[in-house]
Chains A and B, each alone.
Chain A
């Protein structure tokens, strides 16, 4: 169904701006998403992630700026863009009165598949997304995780080369979230390009080959997860000792793995430092501390949270705004 893939980036956006009344939802967003990867759009609630997705998936026109998806101009030829994309997540839904199978056949046919092809494709997707047992029940009765899987399956009916997933795991329990991560990884294995929005640093880190951090309608940082974490100081290793007399010895051990300055907080009997490779640093420090016979209260890795990323990038905490 999709035409021949064009060269260049899967998604390219320049200077996207969009205001809703007085709210400047997007304030000049540029994006360049290479083909065949998961590209993470990371930002707090209200940052403008869904607005970007809505513009790129032809649901919304920007006030200014331009974008191409699979080489096709989103504003000039939205109809052609729709033949190359799938959309799932926050702003796309399935019909709750139809069964899982009926939904997949309907969306397949509306994507242009012939009836017999749409039926075959539905069977295939039900199988792949572990929905065979529930296939002939109305989706109203599905669990949250099942509904998300059906939602994602519906967006894949016509095998779109580019997929928009808007917060696909928000509201899911940890197990369903893990399942969803597995599915997304598989999709990229098939050559699909995925633009994934998320509020979770961990999710972006686990899935995305590149990440754009978005805040107040602007991209404030872009790069691989490693580059990004390097900018915010990456992982930190923390040791709390029982006896203040051991503080200096602990400092020396941590200094051996630190990628940067070592901080000591005498009143909390803590030593803290950024490390490049968390797990191996943790192993080394824990072995050396054990060998030195130092009693610890706490020893662990501290991964930067989204808040810390924002603090580091913007000097203020992530804005919590109601949607």
Chain B
């Protein structure tokens, strides 16, 4: 299959996903409700009890919320694909002379668009509850780009999970389970130095913390260290492993 055809077919699937988006408002609403709840919960319930030296808690929190929002987007990617498999539309796509990668690429790119919209709304929500980013425009744009790259990488994980499971329900549970330890045993909501050593070692070195640290430093105008490079390396690495895995599973998948 030539690359021009693959690009064209992915574009058609992307078009399909984007046309669907406003027609299934629940998807967008649920994508927003969850992070908004987390903002309210952490900002007003737990926040007062969490010490973040040198930074207001809401400033500390919001970059973590952005990162968690894009990570949880992986669940929506997986469920959407699982629904398509269940309905049989994937079988029709697989019976057409279209590029094999197009269905998955079109979906993950459209998830990127959705996640961008959700994070943009969350940014405004953050401003409303007192988030005051101090980073330069360029730094904040870079932070957004890193979030989008993370969204893309995590969507592919969601796709691989969807293709490995038999039912939509299984995709839903399996899609969430790994995200809880990853996003909570991290620096997203609390500084890791209060954690027991064994957990801290995991929390400080796992990719989600690295993303959070990178975007937090960029939004808050703090020293960013190696975190931008580490984020790029991790997310490109995850994507590079997941794309061929997903494409292989897609070829073999029988509903």
Contacts and interface: CB of A to CB of B under 8 A. Distances in A.
Interface size class of A (residues with CB under 8 A): 20 to 34
Interface string B40-58: 0000000000000000000
7 nearest interchain CB pairs? A93-B88, A92-B92, A82-B97, A87-B95, A97-B20, A83-B97, A110-B98
Contact of B23 (A58, A59, A138, A154): A138
A266 B40 CA distance: 86
B145 interface: no
Interface string B83-110: 0000111011111111000100000000
B89 A95 contact: yes
Interface string A72-110: 000000010011011100111111111000100011011
Contacts, number: 68
A109 B12 CA distance: 8
A86 B87 CA distance: 18
Contacts of B254: 54, 59-60
B95 A82 contact: yes
A58 B20 contact: no
Given A59-B95, A83-B97, A92-B92, 16 more contacts: A54-B254, A82-B97, A85-B95, A87-B91, A87-B92, A87-B95, A91-B255, A92-B88, A92-B95, A93-B87, A93-B89, A94-B89, A94-B92, A96-B87, A107-B92, A111-B97
Contacts of A58: 94-95
A59 B254 CA distance: 7
Contacts of A54: 91, 254
A110 B15 CA distance: 12
Given A58-B95, A106-B16, A110-B12, A79 B89 contact: no
Interface of A: 54, 57-60, 79, 82-83, 85-87, 90-98, 102, 106-107, 109-112, 138, 154-155
B167 to A, nearest CB: 15
B23 A92 contact: no
B4 interface: no
A93 B95 contact: no
Nearest to A140: B23
